[in-house]
Amino acid sequence: MKILITSDSHGKKDLLEQIIEREKPDHTIHCGDFCTDLIELPDVPLTVVRGNCDWERVPEEDTYEVDGLRFYVTHGHLFRVSQSGLPLKYRAEEKDAQIVCFGHSHYPVCDQVDERLYINPGSIKQARGFAYPTYSVLSIGTDQQIEVTYHQVDGTPITERGGTYQLKK
């Protein structure tokens, strides 16, 4: 199972479509600040949440389940992710999520804390505190082994982010 995780595309719908076409994911997660009309988002299996710059009425948080894993998806601004990870950690615990996807900071992060994997794919439009715009791809292997890779928007791999993780169901 291959899941594309993006965030903060800020109106770059054509670029988002190009990334989806190149990666050919089974599912796409967009962590908010898509900044287009909802109808302009790609017509693919998609979980999308509202960011602080979005005007469309989509959920501010959502869950997605596949292969016995629960994803919690939010933009992150409501949990002050640029200041502290604790509010997001507590909400992920409430949602009983093993994988937490968020955006807002435009900075790519992939960390396992306790039994949860926290993924911020960065921004496909404008990086902050990182050399270039990014997105991530999560692959679920046999026995729940998770591989997370990061890429520049042209598909070039970023080796200093991501990794292989083992999560419990």
The two three-digit tokens of residue 75, written as one number = 């933009």
61-99 pLDDT per residue, tens: 999 999 889 999 999 888 887 777 778 898 999 999 999
Contact between residue 70 and residue 63 where contact means Cβ atoms under 8 Å apart: yes
Q: Is the dihedral of CA 53, 59, 62, 66 positive or negative?
A: negative
Read off φ and ψ for residue 87, nearest 5 degrees. -60, -40
Pairwise pLDDT comparison (5 vs 85), residue with the higher score: 5
21-67 pLDDT per residue, tens: 999 999 999 999 999 999 999 999 999 999 999 999 999 999 999 98
116-153 pLDDT per residue, tens: 999 999 999 999 999 999 999 999 987 779 999 999 99
Which residues are 150's β-sheet partners? Answer: 136, 158
pTM of the model: 0.95
In this predicted structure, what is the pLDDT of residue 144? 75
In this predicted structure, what is the pLDDT of residue 167? 82
Give the C-alpha separation, 136 to 152, whole Å: 9
Helices (H), strands (E): how many in the chain?
2, 11
Pairwise pLDDT comparison (87 vs 155), residue with the higher score: 155
pLDDT band at 7 (very low <50, low <70, confident <90, very high): very high
Average pLDDT over residues 99-128: 94
Q: Does domain 2-166 have CATH number 3.60.21.10?
A: yes
Reduced DSSP (H G I as helix, E B as strand, rest coil) percent helix, strand, coil of the chain, to 5: 15, 35, 45
Query: Could you tell me the residue ranges of all domains in the chain?
Result: 2-166
In this predicted structure, what is the pLDDT of residue 169? 64
* Residues in CB range of 113: below 8 A, 6 or more apart: 85, 89
